[in-house]
């Protein structure tokens, strides 16, 4: 960045110098040219006013202007264009001048001028011709450097100025960039410190974004750490139990009567391990492939209905009455996920219910179709209602474990709800029951 600013500043300076030099040269040259023309005009008029060339029978041999006015070439042209006198050459050697633009103009309008490139490199010849009263034309001419030559003459000076400016610019831009960048570097070093305000107003959104991302990364890392710790703990409990029971059996410390009980415990814990691992795998799948889910138009009523068929046995086991009603309605969804969501909600409604309790499942259509799972079970205390969607959060730990809960069901539900851009609401009263409502 520093290098970029430096080179750009130097570039701008060079550009400014070159542009200034070019425009000054052009302006200066046009003044210079104007001055030459006016000098020539004055000289021509002065010579005319002497009426010297109009005196009859002027003996051209006696005219000698060459010595006095060396810079000025004077040519006298007759009415037919023949050169009568030239202070720089013998008139006989010169061709007819009638077709020269300044001469033609002088014959027509009384005076004429023109500029021609000289034989000498980089020089221009300026001509001014004036018609004399006797019909002849007097022309004065002088040579001057052309604009390229003026520019080339000035080039070494220009280059020297550019060099000086370049050095000054490099020093200045170094100082300037250091001054500009120092606060940014300082901010970068203290990005976490909210007390350090961004040095420039333009950097506020950038700093806020970086800070937000930083906070998100930290909280994601913390969540991952917590999750790993929780997973390890959750896996350890059933594994320790399995290992302990197996050891007791191996050491013949379990009598015949308790044998079956121990084997059942081993199996229960193994099943718990399996459901835990299944839920963990499912969560990490949902974490990974959010964009790759296959969405289809599905009938919510049909999908929930299919799911309910499989839940009858679980409800019967706890003597719970399941009821399902509603209307057909279409939503854009992943069929498998909707089954999973329904299964989790209804399983919970059965699990956290009382013997002989009820579970009511309803599907409503309309602009935003809804799925409601209501039970008259134990309920969830108000202050815990938000936390139940966190991974491994359980209100009633022992009941959850006893009934095969993993503490991950509602975390999976929340994920599915988010993937479908849906919304989930909890209404619950301890001792009266719970209602979970998903709106698509």
Instruction: Name the residues that contact ligand ADP, by CB under 6 A.
Output: 344, 348-349, 351-352, 375, 377-380, 388, 393-396, 400, 405-411, 434
Between 82 and 237, whose beta carbon lies closer to ligand ADP? Answer: 237
Q: Min. distance of Cβ 280 from ligand ADP in angstroms?
A: 12
- φ/ψ (deg, to 5) at 212: -60, -45
Who's near 141: CB < 8 A, 6+ residues apart? 40, 72, 73, 75, 125, 126, 127, 128
Between 32 and 393, whose beta carbon lies closer to ligand ADP? Answer: 393
| 410/348 Cα distance (integer angstroms) | 9
Between 236 and 328, whose beta carbon lies closer to ligand ADP? Answer: 236
Q: Min. distance of Cβ 283 from ligand ADP in angstroms?
A: 11
Between 129 and 308, whose beta carbon lies closer to ligand ADP? Answer: 308
Q: Tokens 């059933």 belong to which residue?
A: 238
- φ/ψ (deg, to 5) at 232: -60, -45
Q: Min. distance of Cβ 286 from ligand ADP in angstroms?
A: 14
Between 75 and 434, whose beta carbon lies closer to ligand ADP? Answer: 434
| 10/177 Cα distance (integer angstroms) | 12
Q: Min. distance of Cβ 439 from ligand ADP in angstroms?
A: 18
| 397/274 Cα distance (integer angstroms) | 18
Between 75 and 400, whose beta carbon lies closer to ligand ADP? Answer: 400
Helical (H) or strand (E) element with 73: strand 73-77
Q: Min. distance of Cβ 282 from ligand ADP in angstroms?
A: 12
Q: Min. distance of Cβ 358 from ligand ADP in angstroms?
A: 12
Between 139 and 351, whose beta carbon lies closer to ligand ADP? Answer: 351
Find out whether 214 and 191 touch, Cβ atoms under 8 Å: yes
Find out whether 60 and 91 touch, Cβ atoms under 8 Å: yes
Q: Give, in degrees to the nearest 5, the angle at Cα 151 between 146 and 152.
A: 100
Q: Min. distance of Cβ 340 from ligand ADP in angstroms?
A: 12
Identify the sign of the CA torsion 98, 99, 101, 104. Answer: positive
Paired sense of beta strands 321-326 and 358-364, if any: parallel
Q: How many CB atoms lie within 10 A of CB 406?
A: 22
Q: Min. distance of Cβ 211 from ligand ADP in angstroms?
A: 32
Find out whether 202 and 54 touch, Cβ atoms under 8 Å: no
Find out whether 341 and 416 touch, Cβ atoms under 8 Å: yes
H helix intervals, 70-140: 101-109
Q: Min. distance of Cβ 212 from ligand ADP in angstroms?
A: 29
Helical (H) or strand (E) element with 173: helix 147-189
Q: Min. distance of Cβ 179 from ligand ADP in angstroms?
A: 56
| 258/266 Cα distance (integer angstroms) | 12
Between 270 and 430, whose beta carbon lies closer to ligand ADP? Answer: 430
Find out whether 286 and 414 touch, Cβ atoms under 8 Å: no
Between 40 and 346, whose beta carbon lies closer to ligand ADP? Answer: 346
| Paired tokens of 353 | 């219910």
Between 326 and 407, whose beta carbon lies closer to ligand ADP? Answer: 407
Between 162 and 395, whose beta carbon lies closer to ligand ADP? Answer: 395
Q: Min. distance of Cβ 274 from ligand ADP in angstroms?
A: 14
| Paired tokens of 243 | 């290992």
């Amino acid at each position: 960045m520093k290098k970029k600013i430096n080179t750009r500043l130097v570039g701008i300076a060079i550009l400014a110098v070159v542009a200034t030099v070019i425009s000054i040269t052009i302006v200066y040259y046009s003044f210079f040219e104007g001055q030459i023309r006016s000098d020539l005009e004055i000289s021509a008029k002065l010579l005319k006013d002497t009426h010297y060339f109009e005196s009859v029978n002027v003996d051209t041999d006696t005219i000698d202007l060459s010595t006095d006015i060396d810079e000025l070439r004077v040519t006298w042209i007759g009415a037919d264009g023949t050169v009568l006198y030239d202070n720089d050459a013998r008139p006989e050697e010169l061709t007819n001048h009638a077709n020269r633009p300044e001469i033609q103009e002088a014959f027509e309008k009384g005076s004429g001028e023109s500029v021609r490139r000289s034989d000498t490199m980089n020089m221009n010849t300026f001509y001014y011709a004036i018609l004399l009263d006797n019909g002849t034309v007097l022309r004065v001419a002088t040579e001057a450097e052309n604009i390229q030559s003026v520019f080339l003459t000035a080039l070494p000076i220009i280059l020297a100025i550019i060099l000086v400016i370049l050095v000054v610019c490099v020093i200045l831009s170094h100082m300037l960039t250091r001054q500009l960048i120092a606060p940014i570097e300082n901010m970068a070093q203290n990005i976490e410190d909210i007390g350090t305000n961004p040095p420039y107003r333009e950097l506020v959104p950038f700093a806020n974004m970086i800070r937000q991302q930083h906070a998100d990364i930290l909280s994601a890392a913390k969540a991952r750490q917590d999750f790993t710790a929780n997973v390890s703990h959750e896996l350890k409990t059933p594994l320790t139990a399995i290992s302990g029971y197996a050891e007791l059996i191996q050491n013949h410390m379990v009598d015949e009567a308790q044998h079956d009980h121990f084997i059942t415990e081993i199996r229960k814990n193994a099943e718990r391990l399996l459901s835990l691992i299944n839920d963990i795998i499912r969560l990490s799948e949902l974490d990974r492939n959010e964009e790759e889910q296959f969405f289809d138009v599905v009938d919510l009523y049909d999908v929930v209905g299919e799911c309910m068929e499989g839940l009858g046995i679980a409800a019967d086991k706890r003597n719970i009455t399941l009821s399902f009603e509603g209307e057909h309605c279409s939503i854009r969804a992943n069929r498998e996920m909707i089954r999973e969501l329904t299964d989790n909600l209804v399983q919970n409604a059965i699990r956290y219910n009382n013997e002989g309790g009820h579970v009511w499942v309803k599907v409503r259509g309309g602009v935003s179709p809804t799925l409601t799972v209501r039970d008259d079970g134990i309920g969830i205390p108000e202050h815990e209602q938000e936390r139940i969607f966190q991974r491994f959060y359980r209100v009633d730990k022992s009941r959850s474990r006893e009934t095969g809960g993993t503490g991950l069901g509602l975390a999976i539900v929340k994920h599915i709800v988010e993937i479908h851009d849906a919304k989930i609401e909890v209404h619950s009263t301890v001792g009266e029951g719970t209602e979970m409502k998903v709106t698509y």
